[in-house]
Amino acid sequence: MSANYLVSTARFIHTRHHLERLSRMKSIRHVMMRSLTPLRRQLLPMPPREALLPQDELVDEEICPGYDSTKFYPANPGELLANRYQILVKVGWGTSSTVWLARDMRGHEEEPESVVTLKITNTNPNQDAAQDECQIEDHIANTDPSHRGYALFRPNVDSFEVTGPKGSHLCLAYEPMREPFWHFQRRFTDRLIPLPIIKTYILFLLAGLDYLHTGCRVVHTDLKLENIMVSFEDPSVLGDFLNSQLDQPIQYKIDSTGRYIYRSHSDFGSVRNIRRILPKIVDFGGSIKFDREEEWGIYPIQPDHYRAPEVILGCGWKTSADIWNLGILLWDLIQGEELFCQIHDTQGNYQAKAHLAEMIALLGHPPPELVTTFHSMPEYQWPEPAKTADGEAYDSAEQYFGGPFFDHNGKFLHEDLIPDRNLADTLPSLEETERESFLSFAKMMLAWLPEERKTARELMEHPFLQRPKKHRNDFIPR
């Protein structure tokens, strides 16, 4: 499979969706539900709230640390928001939002149903972060729709605010997606998706990062399986799910504040046609936009497991941090396991020194240039302190991550933590020829020096991702 094939495929996917957006004045990309079409412009009757859950049972967002019911919008199935979206089924939740499927009531009666995913954010202090996320997504959606990677994202297609008992809540409308990638993996034996499919998905993700980095000058900073979602293979999957949910009593409880908490449902059933599934990069809550090429970031970013060495060492980071992030994520995609095994202590606390030790075991010692930059950075304190998960504030990366890590001769200070591991042994699922090709590919992403990492566009041409012409159409999402 070549990059040119991806270009034509991605452009086809994008053109289809973009024409829909233009014809409906950038309204929601819709999902057909023919069985509901006659009820257009009429509120659907909701099933009865008969399945009362035990009061002492924690439901969905209630399990989040620091949970505060008053910060969540008290959404209810059947409710109409912004005089446009009828809430149907809760499909997700998090520390700062709940997620619902909703009908878009706008349009003509003869048009098919439009269904969106609504993310209803909490009240302040999360509101500013939600607004920033909305702005980043608007930037991604409007920068260059002709780019081959444009279709590999899911920016919001509408945003509005609703007022709750304790303030306003930003609502973001999205194209509905089937499930996060980690859930998709569970559909395969030992979570191992066939390699031809994974290669296709990696190629698509690289096309997306190429658009994000070169077209938008945005660093995602949070690439992980939870933030890669897969599309519906057929509109009927979503229609069947909704019809099934609307036939069942709603499961709920009432908390001490009087707020109704509904149990989420997000199992859309077996995959009907894997060739039509497309991965998309989502969640831009932590993304950073650079206005100029020479700009770089300094504050801690990325999930612990995927954190790039320049972030830990406080050397400054750019879009190449995403390349490292995706390079580590390849093990999750191909092997179904994380690459690093010892980055947390027995209490689950992140240990940067152990993380660096494992990098050294698998990739060799860092070059002197990186250590020299590391030693020069303590002269530059952060403009504002950054807080760790336990609330402690620090002025530099060395303090934040528990350094120093190297002495002035470049020697690693924690050599006793370096495990006896080999990178080639971390891929038992690959045959020798494929393993060698993959390691060549991965090492181009996992260079210690950020400037030595290949760009997303360059990586798309690596032989590991190429496939014989006679097989190029196998497993390609259409």
Per-residue pLDDT, 282? 94
Per-residue pLDDT, 238? 92
| Rounded Cα distance, 288 and 414, in Å | 32
Per-residue pLDDT, 109? 61
DSSP state of 216: S
Beta strands in 382-468 (DSSP E): 386-387, 393-394
| Rounded Cα distance, 357 and 421, in Å | 11
Question: Which residues touch 114 (CB under 8 Å, ≥6 apart)?
Answer: 27, 28, 30, 31, 103, 104, 106, 107
Confirm or reject CATH 1.10.510.10 for domain 288-465, answering yes or no.
Answer: yes
pLDDT, tens digit, 9 for 90 and up, residues 218-234 = 999 999 999 999 999 99
Quick check: 327 and 363 in contact, CB under 8 A? Answer: no
Q: Six-digit token pair at 248?
A: 């069942």
Nearest CA to 180 among 121, 218, 231, 145?
231
For 218, phi then psi, to 5°, come to -120, 135
Quick check: 453 and 447 in contact, CB under 8 A? Answer: yes
Per-residue pLDDT, 321? 97
What are the C-alpha distances in Å from 161 to residues 21, 167, 192? 22, 10, 41
Per-residue pLDDT, 143? 94
Q: Six-digit token pair at 292?
A: 């100029």
Beta strands in 273-402 (DSSP E): 279-281, 288-289, 386-387, 393-394
pLDDT, tens digit, 9 for 90 and up, residues 155-200 = 888 999 999 998 899 999 999 999 999 999 999 888 889 999 999 9
Q: Six-digit token pair at 217?
A: 């000058």
For 103, phi then psi, to 5°, come to -85, 135
Q: 256-265 burial, b for 16+ CB within 10 Å, e for fewer? A: eeebebbebb
Quick check: 209 and 260 in contact, CB under 8 A? Answer: no
The low-confidence residues of the chain, meaning pLDDT below 50, are 1-39, 470-478
Quick check: 98 and 47 in contact, CB under 8 A? Answer: no
Show me where the domains of the chain are located.
46-146+154-175+234-257, 288-465
| Rounded Cα distance, 180 and 203, in Å | 18
| Rounded Cα distance, 309 and 451, in Å | 13
| Rounded Cα distance, 390 and 423, in Å | 33
Per-residue pLDDT, 57? 87
Which residue type occupies 424? A
Which residue type occupies 54? P
Q: Report the 10 Å Cβ neighbour count for 328.
A: 23
Question: Which residues touch 384 (CB under 8 Å, ≥6 apart)?
Answer: none
| Rounded Cα distance, 175 and 239, in Å | 14
For 263, phi then psi, to 5°, come to -75, 135
CATH homologous superfamily of 46-146+154-175+234-257 equals Phosphorylase Kinase; domain 1 (3.30.200.20)
Quick check: 147 and 13 in contact, CB under 8 A? Answer: no
